[in-house]
Structure 1
Amino acid sequence: MRNNYLLALLSAFILWLAWPPIPYSSVLLFIGFVPLLVAIEQVIRGDYKYKGRKVFGLAFLTCFVWNTASIYWVYNAMNAFLDAFPSLMVALVPYTLGPVLMACAFRLYYQMRKRNNILLSFMGLISFWIAYEYLHQSWELAFPWMNLGNGFANFHQIIQWYSFTGVYGGTLWILLGNILAFLWFWQRKEKMEIYSNKLILGLFAGLLILPAAGSWIAYSNYEEHVNPSEIVTVQPNIDPFGKWGPITPDEQLKVLTDLSQKVAKLNTEFFIWPETAISDERYINEEEFREYRQYQTVLDFLEPYHNGNVLSGIESYVFYNDDRTVTARPYGNLFIDHFNAGVLIDGSSKLQFYHKSKLVPGAEKMPFGKALSFLKPLFKHFGGSTGGYGSQEEPSVFYSASGIGAAPVICYESIWGDYVTEYIKKGAQFIAVITNDGWWGDTAGKDQHLLYAKLRAIENRRWVVRSANTGISAFINQRGDIVQRSSWWVPTALSQEINLNEELTFYTKNGDLIVYLALLTGLLSIGLIIVRNNKITKNSSIN
C-alpha cells in the first residue's frame, strides 16, 4: 500500500501545481487524477481486505492535501471573523468536508467497478463527481471554490465555450481527459490492449486540442458591441482590522471620495466602492439612511456628475415588528436584522439596497440555522456568529436613472456561476464585484478570487468591475481579459470605459444543463449498484 499512498500524494501535488493562480498550469489538470486512478486500480486488482475503505482513504488523501495546499488562506479569512478556536474549526470545513465528498465519489466508483465494466464505471465516476460539486454549491455548507472547472481561470483563452456550458463544462473536460490518460497509461503499464491505445491517444489529443483550438479562435475573433459607459472603481486600502479603530467611518468616506475624484470624468456614470465601504460605527438603518451624514456626503460628492451613481457596500440593518426571518433578533419590542449589503445612491432621493445572499458559513451565517440554533450560545462564547447576517432569496439589479443595470455581487457570491446569471437575466448589463479581500492577507486567496471573476465575464459576456479593498481591483472585459488591475494593498482608483451588453448567452439562458444530465446518469449508476447488490444477496441466500 505504501506505493499507492505515494501515488495519491503525487496526484495531490499535480493538482495543486495546476490550480490558480499559477499561470497556464491548468493543462496539468488533465493528468492530475491519473496517479490516484492507478493506485485505486491496483487496490481493486490486489489482494487486500476492505478494499472500499482503502479506495476512500486514497482518494481522501489526494483531495485533502490538494485542497488544503490550494486554499490554505481560508484560516486567515476565518480568523478575521472568529476567535482562534472557532476559526480553526470553521476552516476545517472546506479543508475536510469537500475532500470527504470527493472521496465518496471515488468510493461509489469502486462499488460500480466491482460489478460493471470499466467504461460504465467511469460514467458513474463522472456523474458522482459532478453531483458532489452541485451539492457543494447548493446546501448550507456550500463552498464551490474547488469545483474543477474553476481551475481554468488562469488560462481563460481555452475556455471561451463556458458561455455555453459554464464551469461544469470544464469539470467534464478534465474528468474525461484523466480517464483517457489513465486508460492509455494502464494498458501500457500492464502490456495489454483491451482498447486500442492508438484510438485512446487520438481521443485524448482530440479532446484537448479541439475545444482549446475552437476556444482560441472564438477568443481571437470575439468583438464587443460598442455601448460605452464610463466607470470608476476604488480601492481605499483600509485595513479591515482597524477600520473601526484608527480610522472613523467619516475618514473612510473621505478616502473614497478623494480617490474617486482623482480619476473621475464629468461623464462617469458609476463609482464602484468596496464591500462595507459605508458604515456608521458599524451599521446604518436602511429606512433612515437619508438622514445620515454619510448619505449627504455622497450626494455632495455626486453633484458634478449629472449621470453619476455610487454603487457601494454598506453595513445596514432593518427593524421588523415580528421575527419573520431566521436571523431576526429581539430588539426591545421589535426585531432586527443586520446585513452585509450593497446600496445604489444617485442624485435623486431614490435608494436601492441589495442584501448579500451567499453568506460565508460559520462567519456570516449559522449553517442549518433552525436545526442548530441550540449552538448559538457556543459560537457567541467563542466570538463567532450567533445567527449571522440576514439575506435575500434572489439577486436584484441596481438601475441608474439612465436605465443602466448593474449586478451588485458581494464578495463570496462571485464564485457562483448560476447565481450570477440570475442578475443578468434580470437586466444587468455589467457585473460589479464589491469585496474586502484584506482578511486573507497577501495569499493566493486574493488572486484566485480575482481570476474566478474572469469566468463570470465569459459565461455571461459581461464586463466585470472589481472593487476590492486591500485586494486586487480590476476591469475584466467580455472575453475574460484583465484590462486594468491594481496592485495589492495599494490605495488607488481606476477609470475605464466599458461596453454594456444586453444579449444573453446560451449558458445565461439555460444554466447548468450538464448538471441535470449528470444527476440523471448518477441516479442510474446508483440504481445499478443497488440492483447488483440485491442480486448478490439473493444468490447468496439461495446458495
Structure 2
Amino acid sequence: MLHRDGAGGGLTLPQRIILAEGWRRRAVAFLAGACGALALEPVGFAPAMAIPLTAAVWLIDGAAGAPAPSRWSFNAASLRSAAGAGWWLGFGYFLAGLWWLGSALLVEADQYAWALPLAVLGVPAGLALFTSLGFAVARLLWSPGSLRVFALAAGLGGAEWLRGHVLTGFPWNDFGMALGGVQLFAQTGSAVGLYGLDLIAILIFAAPATLIDHERKRRFGSPAAAVAMTLLVALAVFGAVRLSQEQTGAVEGVRLRLMQPNLPMDAKFRPENGQEILRRYLALSDQATAPDRMGVSDVTHFIWPESAFPFVLSREPQALSAIAHGLQGKILITGAARVENGPSRKARGKIFNAVQVVQGEKIIAYYDKKHLVPFGEYLPLENWLRPLGVHHLVPGTWDVGQTPRRLSAPGLPPAAPLVCYEAIFPGQAVEPGSERPGWLLNVTSDGWFGHTSGPYQHFAQARLRAIEEGLPLIRAANTGISAIVDPYGRVLEQLPLGVEGVLDGALPKPAPQTFYSRHAEIVFPALWALVFCCALAGRVRA
C-alpha cells in the first residue's frame, strides 16, 4: 500500500505520479497531455499517445486512494481529484494540439487579435471539460486490476463521442487519430470508424500502466497488456490484408485538374480584388503539372477550392463568361457563395457557403454547407456576444444549408461534397439511407491557419473519411494540402502545403462498401457497451 507521506526517495515514476498532489499532480497531468499531441500530424509519432493514457491510469489510481464506505459508493473528493486530473491532462493535450487556432485571428489582427487568448487558451479549456468528465466516469467504474483500463476506455471513449456531438460537435484530434494517422492501423476505421478507434487506442496506449501491477507481474503478466498486444496484431493484420487489395482502378473518361492558388486570406476576401483573383485562377488552371502532361483540352473537369471568389458568382455574368472561355467550356466544380433572394426587396435573403457546378456560362448544380464553423461562419450565443463586439471571422451572415449531401456533374459519378470543416465528422460524409455516391469531394480553405499543424491534421481526418466510407477522396485546398486519395487512404497525387500549382489525375473507383458505412449508427454503441461490461466486471470482482 502506498502512503502520501511526502517522501520521494526510492519511489518509481508510477508511484510518484500516483502519490503526486497539488501543483505536482496538475503539472504531471498537463505535461503528459501535451506529449500526446506528438502522436498527431504533422509529427505523427503514434507511440507518444501512450504517455497521456498511461499517466491517466496512474492519476486515477491516485484519485482512488481514498476508501469508500462500500463497493458501490464513492468518495466525493476522489471523484473531484479524478475530474481535476482529467481537466489538466485534457488542457495540455488540446493546447499542444490546437494552438494554431490563434492563427485565424491574426489574419485581420486589427479586429481580432484581442481574442487570441480566447482561441488559444479558451477552446482547449472548454474541450478539457470532456476529458474531465471521462476521468470522472472512469473513476466510477475503477477497479484495482487490469480491467481498470476498460474503465478508462469507457469513460474517455464516451467523452470523445460526446465531444463530437454536443453543441454541433468538434471531433478534432480524437485520441483515436494516433491510430487513424497510421495508414496500416487506420484501415480498421473501415470497420469501426473514428469513435471505435478511440476505444481501441485507449485500450492499447493505457495498457503499459498495468505492467507495474505487482501481483499480476509475479503471475502471468498483465491481462490488459495481452489484450493490447492482441489488438495491435489484429489491427496490423487487418490493415495489411485490406491494403493488399489491388488498386481499384480509375473511372473511365475522367481527367481531373485540381487548382491550388495559395492565395493569402487577407487578400482573398476583398471584393475589389475579384477580377484579378479570377484571372489568376484561370491562368493557373491553364498550366499542366509537367511539360508532358495534358493541356486544358485534355481535362474533363476542373476543381477549385472553397469560397474561391470574393463575390457571388451567380451575380457576375462576366465572370461566368470568362470561366467558360478560359476553361474551354469544360465542367468546373468550385466553392462559391450562393445567394437566395428574400420574399421581398427589403427582406434579407440567405447566403450559403456552397459548392457549385458550372457548365458553360451556367451554374447547373450546387450543394450548400450544412455544418458551419462556430465563431468562423456563425456566432454561438449571438444575442449575448454580438452586443459585446464579438463577431464571427468570415464576412457575411451564413445560413445552414438544407440540400442533400449529393452533387451531380456531367461525366462524373455522384459526389458526396464536404465543405472544409464537414470532413471531420465520422459517419456523416454520406447521409444514411441515401444512394451511395462514387466519391468524396472536400473543398477547403485552410489558409486561415498558415504553415501550422492545423492543415496537416485536417487532411489526416479527411483521409480517414475515405477509409471509413471506402470512397476515393478528391481534395482541393486553397493553400494545401490538395490531394487525390484512393478508397484505402493511399495518397495517389498531392500538392504540399503553401505551394501554388495544379494537380492532374484520374478519379479512382470506389472500394466495396465498408462495414462501418453500412452500420455507422450502431458500431460505437455496441463497442462501448462491450468495453463498459468489461469495466463493470472488474468493478464487481473488486
TM-score of the aligned structures, taking structure 1 as reference length: 0.83
What pairs with 1:269-308 in structure 2 (closer than 5 Å)?
A: 269-280=300-311, 283-284=312-313, 289=314, 292-303=317-328, 308=330
Q: 2:99 — aligned with what?
A: 72
Q: Which amino acid aligns with 2:360?
A: G
- 1:119 positional shift: 6.3
Q: Quick check: 1:214 aligned with 2:238?
A: yes
- 1:175 positional shift: 1.4
Q: Which amino acid aligns with 1:359?
A: L
Does the 8 Å contact 2:378/2:392 carry over to 1?
Answer: no
Q: Tell me, in whole angstroms, the C-alpha distance in 1 between the residues paired with 2:394 and 2:269.
A: 19
Q: 1:514 — aligned with what?
A: 523
- 1:140 positional shift: 2.4
Q: Quick check: 1:243 aligned with 2:268?
A: yes
Q: Which amino acid aligns with 1:110?
A: R
Does the 8 Å contact 1:312/1:344 carry over to 2?
Answer: yes
Q: Tell me, in whole angstroms, the C-alpha distance in 2 between the residues paired with 1:210 and 1:381.
A: 49
Q: Deviations over 1:497-519 (max 9, x none)?
A: 13232742222222143322266
Q: Which amino acid aligns with 1:257?
A: L
Return closer, same or farther for 1:459/1:379 CA change in 2, 3 Å cut-off: farther
Does the 8 Å contact 1:429/1:502 carry over to 2?
Answer: no
Q: 2:256 — aligned with what?
A: 231
Q: Tell me, in whole angstroms, the C-alpha distance in 2 between the residues paired with 1:244 and 1:36.
A: 44
Return closer, same or farther for 1:473/1:402 CA change in 2, 3 Å cut-off: closer
Which one is further off, 196-205 or 65-74?
A: 196-205
Q: Quick check: 1:310 aligned with 2:332?
A: yes
Does the 8 Å contact 2:444/2:477 carry over to 1?
Answer: yes
Equivalenced residue count is 502
Q: Quick check: 1:89 aligned with 2:118?
A: yes
Q: Quick check: 1:360 aligned with 2:380?
A: no
Q: Quick check: 1:429 aligned with 2:438?
A: yes
Q: Which amino acid aligns with 1:389?
A: W
Q: Tell me, in whole angstroms, the C-alpha distance in 2 between the residues paired with 1:33 and 1:60.
A: 13
| RMSD value, Cα | 3.3
Q: Tell me, in whole angstroms, the C-alpha distance in 1 between the residues paired with 2:437 and 2:47.
A: 33
Unpaired stretches in structure 2, ≥5 consecutive residues? 1-19, 68-74, 289-294
- 1:273 positional shift: 0.4
Q: 2:292 — aligned with what?
A: none
- 1:249 positional shift: 1.1
Does the 8 Å contact 2:373/2:421 carry over to 1?
Answer: yes
Q: 1:328 — aligned with what?
A: none
Does the 8 Å contact 1:131/1:518 carry over to 2?
Answer: no
- Structure 2 residue matching 1:508: 3-state secondary structure: helix
- Structure 1 residue matching 2:82: 3-state secondary structure: helix
Q: Deviations over 1:343-366 (max 9, x none)?
A: 111237452121111111122112
Return closer, same or farther for 1:516/1:481 CA change in 2, 3 Å cut-off: same
Which one is further off, 57-66 or 90-99?
A: 90-99
- Structure 1 residue matching 2:525: 3-state secondary structure: helix
Q: 2:207 — aligned with what?
A: 180
Q: Tell me, in whole angstroms, the C-alpha distance in 1 between the residues paired with 2:246 and 2:184.
A: 11
Q: Tell me, in whole angstroms, the C-alpha distance in 2 between the residues paired with 1:499 and 1:393.
A: 29
Q: Which amino acid aligns with 1:220?
A: S
What pairs with 1:486-505 in structure 2 (closer than 5 Å)?
A: 486-501=495-510, 503-505=512-514
Q: Quick check: 1:18 aligned with 2:39?
A: yes
Q: Which amino acid aligns with 1:356?
A: K
Q: 1:466 — aligned with what?
A: 475
Does the 8 Å contact 1:232/1:260 carry over to 2?
Answer: yes
Return closer, same or farther for 1:209/1:28 CA change in 2, 3 Å cut-off: farther
Q: Which amino acid aligns with 2:59?
A: A
Q: Tell me, in whole angstroms, the C-alpha distance in 2 between the residues paired with 1:382 and 1:457.
A: 34
Does the 8 Å contact 1:7/1:36 carry over to 2?
Answer: no
Which one is further off, 489-498 or 203-212?
A: 203-212
Q: Which amino acid aligns with 2:355?
A: G
- Structure 1 residue matching 2:190: 3-state secondary structure: helix
Q: 2:54 — aligned with what?
A: 34
Q: 1:140 — aligned with what?
A: 167
- Structure 2 residue matching 1:241: 3-state secondary structure: helix
Q: Which amino acid aligns with 1:271?
A: F
Q: Deviations over 1:394-413 (max 9, x none)?
A: 64222122352123211111
Q: Deviations over 1:15-35 (max 9, x none)?
A: 122222214x11332454112
Q: Which amino acid aligns with 1:501?
A: P
Q: Quick check: 1:107 aligned with 2:136?
A: yes
- 1:441 positional shift: 1.2
Q: Tell me, in whole angstroms, the C-alpha distance in 2 between the residues paired with 1:156 and 1:294.
A: 42
- Structure 2 residue matching 1:335: 3-state secondary structure: coil
- Structure 1 residue matching 2:349: 3-state secondary structure: strand
Q: Tell me, in whole angstroms, the C-alpha distance in 2 between the residues paired with 1:166 and 1:77.
A: 29
Return closer, same or farther for 1:381/1:501 CA change in 2, 3 Å cut-off: closer
Does the 8 Å contact 2:335/2:443 carry over to 1?
Answer: yes
Does the 8 Å contact 1:79/1:88 carry over to 2?
Answer: no
Does the 8 Å contact 2:146/2:222 carry over to 1?
Answer: no
Unpaired stretches in structure 1, ≥5 consecutive residues? 323-331, 533-543
Which one is further off, 75-84 or 53-62?
A: 75-84
- 1:311 positional shift: 0.9
Q: Quick check: 1:171 aligned with 2:195?
A: no
Q: Tell me, in whole angstroms, the C-alpha distance in 2 between the residues paired with 1:526 and 1:218.
A: 31
Q: Which amino acid aligns with 1:317?
A: V
- 1:381 positional shift: 5.6
Which one is further off, 341-350 or 474-483?
A: 341-350
Return closer, same or farther for 1:5/1:135 CA change in 2, 3 Å cut-off: closer
Does the 8 Å contact 2:106/2:112 carry over to 1?
Answer: yes
Does the 8 Å contact 1:22/1:154 carry over to 2?
Answer: no
- 1:385 positional shift: 7.8
Q: Which amino acid aligns with 1:447?
A: Y
Return closer, same or farther for 1:350/1:274 CA change in 2, 3 Å cut-off: closer
Q: Deviations over 1:37-78 (max 9, x none)?
A: 112202312589922222112111111111111111011124
- Structure 2 residue matching 1:20: 3-state secondary structure: coil
Does the 8 Å contact 1:236/1:469 carry over to 2?
Answer: yes
- 1:445 positional shift: 0.7
- 1:224 positional shift: 0.9
Return closer, same or farther for 1:377/1:447 CA change in 2, 3 Å cut-off: closer
Return closer, same or farther for 1:396/1:386 CA change in 2, 3 Å cut-off: same
Return closer, same or farther for 1:292/1:160 CA change in 2, 3 Å cut-off: same
Does the 8 Å contact 2:302/2:332 carry over to 1?
Answer: yes
Identity %: 21
Q: Tell me, in whole angstroms, the C-alpha distance in 2 between the residues paired with 1:366 and 1:526.
A: 40
- Structure 2 residue matching 1:422: 3-state secondary structure: coil
Return closer, same or farther for 1:434/1:161 CA change in 2, 3 Å cut-off: same
- 1:387 positional shift: 9.2
- 1:384 positional shift: 5.7
Q: Of the candidates 261, 268, 272, which is equivalent to residue 299 of structure 2?
A: 268
- Structure 1 residue matching 2:337: 3-state secondary structure: strand
Does the 8 Å contact 2:486/2:492 carry over to 1?
Answer: yes
- 1:277 positional shift: 0.6
Which one is further off, 250-259 or 44-53?
A: 44-53
Q: Tell me, in whole angstroms, the C-alpha distance in 2 between the residues paired with 1:387 and 1:293.
A: 23
- Structure 2 residue matching 1:221: 3-state secondary structure: coil
Which one is further off, 208-217 or 55-64?
A: 208-217
Which one is further off, 129-138 or 58-67?
A: 129-138
Q: Which amino acid aligns with 1:345?
A: V
